[in-house]
Amino acid sequence: MAAGATPADGALIAVIADEDTITGFLLSGMGNIDMRKKHNFLVVDSKTPVKTVESTFKEFTHRDDIAIILISQNVAGLIRSAIDHHTKAVPSVLEIPSKDHPYEPTQDSLLMRVKHIMGSV
């Protein structure tokens, strides 16, 4: 989506994850680089500073062209505080499994909020 475009023009999915997960999403066609050279994805590996992950997450939450942020659950654990402080409905933040880290429901912030609202916790 071009800079200055509105959510009605279409919205992006952003992904913060390991290289294999990002590659899969890019092959599906979700990748985007706008005119300002801003990506809608971040490849995270063992050398990626937590500060970079957190600043990218915050950037994605403030972009008006992103509707959903998918983040590998193990990466989400690195910035749990930032994720817990994000309370807006859009962009929605969904934690996903990765090849080397299976999904653990007890670690998912969104699932814990839903259970709390429903009175299950």
Q: Domain range holding 82?
A: 12-118
**Per-residue pLDDT tens for 9-28?**
568 999 999 999 999 999 99
Is 60 exceeded by the pLDDT of residue 1?
no
Q: Distance between CA 18 and CA 79 in Å, rounded?
A: 15
Tell whether 1 is covered by a domain: no
Tell whether 39 is covered by a domain: yes
**CATH code for the domain in which residue 112 is found:** 3.40.50.10580
Tell whether 110 is covered by a domain: yes
| Cα distances (Å, whole numbers) of residue 52 to 30, 42, 47, 69, 120 | 21, 9, 10, 16, 35
Tell whether 66 is covered by a domain: yes
Is 90 exceeded by the pLDDT of residue 119?
no
Q: What is the pLDDT of residue 117?
A: 61
**Per-residue pLDDT tens for 43-83?**
999 999 999 999 999 999 999 999 999 999 999 999 999 99
Can the peptide bond before residue 97 be classed as cis, meaning omega within 30 degrees of 0?
A: no
Give the number of domains in the chain: 1
Going by C-alpha positions, the residue among 93, 99, 91, 98 that lies closest to residue 111 is: 93
Q: What is the pLDDT of residue 84?
A: 87
Structure tokens at 86: 């994000």
Tell whether 7 is covered by a domain: no
